Amino acid sequence: MITIIGAGKVGGDAALFSALRNLDDQILLLDIVKGLPQGEAMDINHALSEQGIDVEIKGSNDYSDMKGSNIVVVVAGLGRKPGMTRMDLLQKNAGIVKSVVENIKKYADDSIIIPVTNPLDPMTYICYKVSGFERNRVFGMGGMLDLSRFKQFIHEATGHSRHSIRALVIGEHGENMLPLPRFSSVSGIPLTSLLSKEKIDELVQNTRQVAAKVIELKGATVHAPGNGISTIIDSVVNGKMQVLPIATYLDGEYGYSDVTIGVPAVIGKNGVEKIIELDLNDEEKEIFNKGIESVKNAISCIQI
């Protein structure tokens, strides 16, 4: 069973995308708001019924219903409002996520935890420390969302099919995210061979800023994160061993320890099967290091 804690727009979309991919025969939506997960489950089930997809979505306000879950997605917490940064949510969401993880330990201690709550990197750190799980079983969805945005900008700039685009975004899921044009391509052709440095710099900057634009226009980002969550779950459930950018706890990788940040990793049935260490150039290292310092500073401000 897959459990998604937080039945708001992102949690609901994550359940819908996961069901459309047939990632489990049962998906549980959990939320403290009475009626919300139940109503969301009903709505999704109606869509699945017409589609002929035999995945059952259930809604609950009782943590004990997640017993036996293999994967638990943590979306619970406050979302960004227009004008807010992800770090503005730090203190309030830290307490919420800590409480959620204590319940995961109680009812689903064999599960893989996928944090989504912002600020993503510090929340992943909380999930790892509070759960006491092996680090391969706790990894956050941040880079997958940033990646989807970078790919769209590459598509718009080149006019080439989205299917042919490969891209990578690592680092902090925030102001210091690190899109990597050197490790991005279109049908194997390096992005740096297709676009000018000025154009690439524009794409990178747009990738960093577009979330705030979406939030300004419609109030929240929903479909891209929901899809990103289901892509990660798919790689776990089906043992795809895909290289995906996820937030994970570093223990010497990239020269850092006791911090969580986005890096490329092989994702399979055991969660993080392998962390891939890229040979970053000086400019890339500078931005990556800024992200590390930002996350470490945030971690130092919360009690675990």
Instruction: At 17, list the tokens.
Output: 């995308």
Instruction: Give the span between the Cα atoms of 278 and 191, in whole angstroms.
Output: 17
Same domain as 115, residue 178: no
| Residue 184: CATH number of its domain | 3.90.110.10
Diameter over CA atoms, the chain: 54
Same domain as 166, residue 59: no
- The values of phi and psi at residue 242, to 5°, are -75, 145
pLDDT at 233: 98
Quick one: which of 194, 139, 142, 138 has its CA closest to 166? 194
Q: C-alpha 280: how far from its chain's center?
A: 23
Same domain as 90, residue 7: yes
- Which 8-state DSSP code applies to residue 57? E
Same domain as 120, residue 231: no
Q: Is the Cβ–Cβ distance between 2 and 233 less than 8 Å?
A: yes
In the chain, which residues have pLDDT < 70?
79-81, 83-87
Same domain as 153, residue 101: no
- pLDDT single digits (tens) 213-226: 998 999 888 999 99
Strand 56-60 versus strand 26-30 pairing type: parallel
Give how many domains the chain has, as a whole number: 2
Instruction: Give the span between the Cα atoms of 183 and 293, in whole angstroms.
Output: 23
Instruction: Show the beta-strand stretches assigned E in the chain.
Output: 2-5, 26-30, 56-60, 71-74, 112-115, 165-166, 169-171, 177-179, 185-186, 189-190, 242-251, 257-268, 271-275
**pTM beyond 0.75, yes or no:** yes
- The values of phi and psi at residue 16, to 5°, are -65, -50
pLDDT at 82: 77
Q: Is the Cβ–Cβ distance between 143 and 262 less than 8 Å?
A: yes
Buried b (16+ CB within 10 A) or exposed e, 178-203: bbbbbbbbbeeeebeebbeeeebeeb
Instruction: Give the span between the Cα atoms of 291 and 304, in whole angstroms.
Output: 21
Same domain as 30, residue 103: yes
Same domain as 162, residue 97: no
Q: Is the Cβ–Cβ distance between 73 and 233 less than 8 Å?
A: yes
Q: Is the Cβ–Cβ distance between 96 and 77 less than 8 Å?
A: yes
pLDDT at 89: 80
Active site annotation includes 46:
no
Domain boundary among 137, 162, 180: 137
Domain boundary among 110, 137, 164: 137
pLDDT at 88: 78
Long-range contacts at 47-50 (CB < 8 A, ≥ 24 apart): 47/16, 48/19, 48/20
Instruction: Give the span between the Cα atoms of 150 and 144, in whole angstroms.
Output: 10
Tokens 């869509």 — which residue?
Answer: 47
Same domain as 272, residue 228: yes
- pLDDT single digits (tens) 266-296: 999 999 999 999 999 999 999 999 999 999 9
| Residue 81: CATH number of its domain | 3.40.50.720
73 beta partners? 4, 114
Domain boundary among 104, 137, 170: 137
Same domain as 128, residue 200: no
- pLDDT single digits (tens) 114-147: 999 999 999 999 999 999 999 999 999 989 999 9
Same domain as 211, residue 71: no
Q: How many CA atoms lie within 13 A of 294 on its CB side?
A: 23
Same domain as 157, residue 121: no
Same domain as 222, residue 194: yes
Please pick, among 46, 155, 163, 173, the residue that the annotation labels catalytic. Answer: 173
Domain containing 176: what range?
Answer: 143-300
